[in-house]
Structure 1
Amino acid sequence: MASTTKEVATELLPLIRVYTDGSVERLFGSPIVPPSPDQNPETGVSSKDITISENPSISARLYLPILTPHNQNQKFPILVYFHGGAFCVESAFSLFSHRYLNSIVSQANVVAVSVEYRLAPEHPLPACYEDCWAALQWVASHSAGNGKEPWLINHGDFERIYIGGDTSGANTAHNLALRGGTESLPGGVKIFGAFLSQPYFWGSKPIGSESKEGHEKSLSSLIWSLVHPSATGGIDSPLINPFGPGAPSLAGLACDKLLVCVAEKDMLRERGVWYCDEVKKSGWKGEVELFEVKGEDHAFHFFNFETENTKAMIKRLASFLK
């Protein structure tokens, strides 16, 4: 009898296992949860799932803050959000993303579009970047009345469009903010602000307190090799190393406000701080702020959602979006 044991090609614990036959086993991720079309019982936020594109397959979960007699005719800022998960796990429809967006939307009073982009390694980068740019274009197309989504048409303020994300989603937000400096969006829409939470940046040379031993075999390096094997420059591609050879000037970031959030114990912390410092030095004309949470590790606000540190971080994001 033939063996049914499959051979592992790549294994990145605790995230993902890829087999030689091309099949993928995702070892990490929170469960998929439904939207709350009739308002979330805890926040009053409504949510629904929509399709942006059939080919490629891009969808999103939309969030609308609670409408009252006082605000039902006002326009809210729009947040286009990119979830984290190392470009290869998690979802806009997962529990982690859903409760996080519910909380942000209820506190910040924004309309949010949480993008469900294609994941690596089945769809290696730049698929995520292309999908998220297409979603941003789709949102912007509503500014001139060309879109069909009533929540955006009736309640979105296209003068205040934010992009943002966590970890790999923050990397995506950075790359889209740069792209917005060289490519225009429909209706002449501009990106007003961006937040980068614990951004996934890396490079071939360790900086600061990053371990010199095994740097090239670190999880951050191995993830990049898996999700973008054809990247020009490898781990020093400007997409992952904003200070690598040939990286565009950060002065070209196409937004007026930037918030970078880091966590004290996160191995990506020093890259986020460095990024913030370099933006300030670049000649960029906007306002940049750094927000650090002490005593916490990478993506703490997803795993420990009810803690005071998580509440403080979401409050800071909400005040930035207001």
Structure 2
Amino acid sequence: MESEIVSEFLPFVRIYKDGTIKRLIGNDIIPTSLDPSNDVVSKDVVYSPEHNLSVRLFLPHKAAAAADGEKKLPLLIYIHGGAWIIESPFSPIYHNYVAAVAKSANCLAVSVQYRRAPEHPVPAAYEDVWSAIQWTFSHANGSGGPEDWINKHADFGRVFLAGDSAGGNISHHLAMKAGEEKKLGIKIKGIGVVHPAFWGTDPVDEFDVQDKETRSGIAEVWEKVASPNSVNGTDDPLFNVNGSGSDFTGLGCEKVLVAVAGKDVFARQALAYAAKLEKSQWGGTVEVVEEKDEGHVFHLQKPDSDKALKFLNKLVDFISG
């Protein structure tokens, strides 16, 4: 007999009375491959035995076949989205996208698995990604880390952090953490903040989402699933990045690419974030790229569309330029 449903938060998750949690989307997995037919090879490496978490590495085949000592590659650390609840680096949508970025930008990519809500609510995801960043930087001297691909191929003078939706949110916060903890030597060249999941109790401006049902729906997912321990609900500084108390001056990178989709509920928050960065005393450069007639993570949903390929080229230029 099937257990009684206690709650469901569509389209993400259903929670049953016996404690079972069923994710409704984002469950498919694609295997790694050392077959160079698509010009990129991939493999999974455990970075956190404690939590059984891995990173999925992507390496252009030409670099994999090259002799040691040849030119090092930019390093991209990618953080997947999914409302802190669904998806993983092993999902087809993220495997294929990060592979495409690695190929087009000729970079080594590290796609991070992290613990997800509701079993592991915020801040578990932030803690895990920070652990993965530290693990990645343990290879910075070219021989100290456990993974040969990173030791041999990563240029730690060109490290980029990027993510979409929840991953865009996490990218910002961990770039802030890198700036605060300079003694750790985690130097990030730039961050790509793509359709970031930034929110707050009140609209950020008159053009932000005003519909009460939409706003309460987003708040419900955050407060009841992703981060039920937040004292201030959607005004938690992890979610309300543009709040009055936020200070971006310590952001630990040189440049930021902010990607905005005009039909995305988070669009005005992303634009406010870029504007606040530009007005801050941070000192880096901000670039905004906006597709006014597209929705949230359209580039993942329609990766072969002209606008998705246009954005891919922008992200590639950000990394390789």
Tell me the residue number matched to 1:163: 161
Distance 1:230 1:70 in 2: 49
Shift of 1:185: 6.5
RMSD, matched Cα: 1.7
Deviations 1:97-153 (A, max 9, x none): 011011101111111000011111001111100000000000111013320111111
Match of 1:234 in 2: 233
Amino acid in the other structure paired with 2:10: L
State the alpha-carbon separation in 1 of the partners of residues 212 and 121 from structure 2.
28
Q: Which residue of structure 1 lines up, in the alignment, with residue 92 of structure 2?
A: 95
Aligned mate of 2:114, from 117, 121, 125: 117
Q: CA deviation at 1:189?
A: 3.2
Separation in 2, partners of 1:268, 1:216: 11
Count of aligned positions:
314
What amino acid is aligned across from residue 317 of structure 1 in structure 2? L
User: How much has 1:299 moved relative to structure 2?
Assistant: 1.3
What code does the residue aligned with 1:281 have? Answer: K
Give the residue type in structure 1 aligned to 2:109: A
Give the 3 Å change call, closer, same or farther, for CA 79–87 of structure 1 in structure 2. same
Residue matched to 1:192: 189
Question: Which of 125, 144, 151 is the equivalent residue of 1:128?
Answer: 125
- Distance across 1 between alignment mates of 2:110 and 2:229: 29
Q: CA deviation at 1:244?
A: 2.5
TM-score computed with the length of structure 1 as normaliser: 0.93
Which of the residues 17, 42, 49 maps onto 1:47?
A: 42
Residue in structure 2 matched with residue 33 of structure 1 by the alignment: 30
Structure 2 distance, partners of 1:290, 1:216, is 25
**Equivalence for 2:264:** 266
In 2, the alpha carbon distance for the partners of 1:75 and 1:223 equals: 42
Structure 2 gaps, min length 5: none
What is the CA–CA distance in structure 2 between the aligned matches of 1:54 and 1:152, rounded to whole Å? 19
| Structure-2 residue corresponding to 1:294 | 292
Q: 1:173 aligns with which of 171, 174, 190?
A: 171
Paired with 2:202 and 2:292, the residues of 1 have a C-alpha distance of 26
Measured in 1, the distance between the counterparts of 2:267 and 2:144 equals 41
CA separation of 1:231/1:258 partners in 2, compared to 1, >3 Å: closer, same or farther?
same
Q: Is the 8 A contact 1:206 1:212 kept in 2?
A: no
Q: Supply the distance in 1 between the matched residues of 2:210 and 2:5 (Cα, whole angstroms).
A: 28
- Give the drift of 1:302: 1.4
Runs of at least 4 residues of structure 1 off by over 4 A?
68-72
Deviation at 1:181, TM superposition (A): 1.5
> In the alignment, which residue of structure 2 is the partner of 1:80?
77
SS of 2:120 mapped into structure 1: coil
The TM-score normalised by the length of structure 2 is 0.93
Return the offset for 1:19: 1.7
> What is residue 309 of structure 1 aligned with on the other side?
307
Distance 1:109 1:82, change over 3 A: same
